[in-house]
Structures are given as C-alpha cells and as structure tokens.
Amino acid sequence: MITDAFLKEIPKTDVHLHLDGSLRLTTLIELAQKNNVALPFYDEENLRKTVFLDHYEDLPSYLRGFSYTCSVMQKAEDLTRISYELAQDCIAEGVRYIEVRFAPQLHMTELSFDEVLRAVNAGLLTAQEEFLQSDSVLIHQEPPFYYGIICCALRMFDEKSSGWYGPFFKNFIGDNPKEIYAFASYELARNAVRCRDELKIPIVGLDLAGSEHGYRAKDHTKAFLYGHHNLMRSTVHAGEAYHAASIFEALTDLHADRIGHALNLFDLQMLEDDYPEDYNLPPDKFLEHLINYIAERRLTIEACVSSNLQTRPDKTIKTHPIWNMFERKLSVTICTDNRLISNTSICKEMRLLVDTNPVLFNVKQIRRCCTYGFKRSFLSLPYLEKRSYVRECIDFFNRIATKHGLEEHL
C-alpha cells in the first residue's frame, strides 16, 4: 500500500514551479498589509473562497491570483523571503531538487533585473545552505537539496505589463507587435546568460510562457538560439492550451530540452481543426512522428495535473493524457506548476494519481517519474557529480521503499 508517509519520504523533484504562483497565503496577506496592496480579503478563509480556489471556471479566473501575488513581489527583501519559504516548503515534503521559474521583468517596479535575480537567489541559497548543514545530510542519511532558476520570456504582453517593457514599445519602429515580443525575449535571454556568467547566479534555463494560440514559439527563435549557443538549457510551455504543433515548434525552433504540460499532445481533433498550412505531413502522421520523436529522445514532459484540471474544466483526472504518457513509456516527471494558485504540492499530485489509478501509477512508475526528474533536471553540477547525486537519490528511494515494505514492487 502506498501511504502518505511513503510519498513524503521519497526524494522528489519539482522542475515546473512558478515563484509567483507558489507563495504561502499567510505571507501574501502579511506582505499586502505591509506594502499597502489591496486584496479582496485579508484572511485565508475568504481568499480561499474567492481567489485561490480548488476548482476554477476558466483560465481567466485561474490567472486572477497572479495579479495579487506579483503586486507583493516588488521589493528585494520580499522576494528573498518568498523564495526562502518556497524552498523550505519543498524540503519539508521531501523534494530534494527544484527549478524555480519566473519572469524577472514582472518584478522591476523598484528593482533592476540583476537585483531581482540576486534577491530570489539569496532566499533559495540560504535554504539550501541550511539544509546542507543538517545532521541527516552531513552523515549521509539522505540526499542534499539543490535548486536552479529558470527565467521566463513571455509570448505576448502589453506596455502596462511591466515598466521593463515600456522602452520596447517607445523605441519600436513598425506595426508588428510580435517583433517587440521577440526582441524582449532576446534581451531576457541575453541578460539571463550574463547574470549566470558574471554574477554566478545558478540560472539553469530559459522558458517561454503565455498564450500559445496566435503567438507561435518560432517567433522567439533568436532568443532561444542565443541561449542555445551559450549552452543555456530550455523548457517551454507548449501544448497546454493549444495543440501539438506548439510542442513541435518548441522542440525544433527553440531547442527545448523539456516540455511544460503537453496536455494536448495526443489530441488529433484539436490539431486537425487548426493544422498549420506550412506543415507537409497529414495531421495523423505528423502526430505519430512527434510522439515517437519525444519518446525516443527521452524528452521529458513536466506534468502538472491539478493545474491542467483547473484551467481545463472539460478534462477529468481519468481522461488526463498522463495515463497515455505512462502507457507509451514517455519520460514524465510530476510537478506542481503553482502551489498556491492550485492549492497543491508534489505529495498531493502523487496522491491524486495513486488514488485514481494505482495500477498505472504504482511504486515502479513513481520511481521512474522521480528518476526522470533528477536525470533530466538542469542541475548545474559537473556531470560526474550530478551522476553521483542522481544515484544517491535513487538508492535513497529504494531504501524508503524497503522501509515501507514495498521493495518487491520496485
């Protein structure tokens, strides 16, 4: 029997974890009061009833909470606190590696790009150093905790999205705003690489987020090619609210090492309804080639099940494509997306899957998902050290399974 204690104790990763969607609710309230940020309510119960729900009617209602969280994330000390608490919360449920992603440009009301990244890194680094000094790590009873930072570019935005975007609109000559989006992404990539190399901040990857329909990944090729040429890894939100062609472009145009969500990977009808004219293969052949390509290259999918169910009310846990991913032996790792917005954690995500289908999401599949998370992470250790760390985490998983009488299911 897979117990909550087992799920908590095994070493896990969360490589799709949005900083601005993962605050503690108590911290949001405290910071809003401190910084005179208006909230509809200043108590947890009413905010859970009105903003941060268990179920949302549509994507706009899901995204509403970010307007409040970003408003309290404009000062260095607040960013440091939020990052520190997030790492603590992950450590407390047995997560041993996280990749925290966010768009620095959305937190620059008072701070520079560098100051935002320094503040976030300070909180994560403090949490890491504290855990590395814990007795259980020092005597090698359990694996250390590490982290990386992913900088998010946006597929689209407007002049009011952030002060950082203002000059792009002011100095732009032309009538195609997509050129502004592309240039802003390039500037983000350039600054992310610079902060990694000059400031030694562990920025381990780039991401592209935002509305997929009408805002193609290929428009941001220059930015991600710059990252690629500077050996910066990448993960892209794709197939979350659009069809498989978005995933294809993320892999081929942006050199994505992982895919965020891929919710519509198997949806042939969605693909046929809006099939790109510049694609040569018939939709069904294209889709099968794409799925096989992802499988053979072990391109890992960051599955965020609760988030998907909340933004797509037409989906149910039983019809979620993660089961098809497991059956096709794709490389999948379990992630939270937004701990606050989705009211979830890695343990909750795993519990949901176990309770829904314990045959498919069994101990062996759980270990497989955890292993993919560690192996396909962007952890910035030298290769041999990372290899040793992954082995340590797998061995620790096996010991926990034995402790809970599950060794015969490995």
Active site residues: 240
Residue with token string 């440009």: 105
- The Cα 230–Cα 397 span in angstroms is 34
Cα–Cα distances in Å, from 72 out to 65, 161, 164? 12, 15, 17
DSSP assignment letter at 337: B
Q: Are 240 and 219 in contact (CB under 8 A)?
A: no
Q: Are 13 and 345 in contact (CB under 8 A)?
A: no
β-bridge mates for residue 334, sequence order: 303
- The Cα 182–Cα 165 span in angstroms is 12
- The Cα 356–Cα 107 span in angstroms is 39
First-to-last C-alpha distance (Å) of the chain? 13
Residues 6+ apart with CB under 8 A from 146: 96, 97, 128, 379, 381, 389
Residues 6+ apart with CB under 8 A from 217: 155, 208, 236, 238, 246, 249, 250, 253, 254
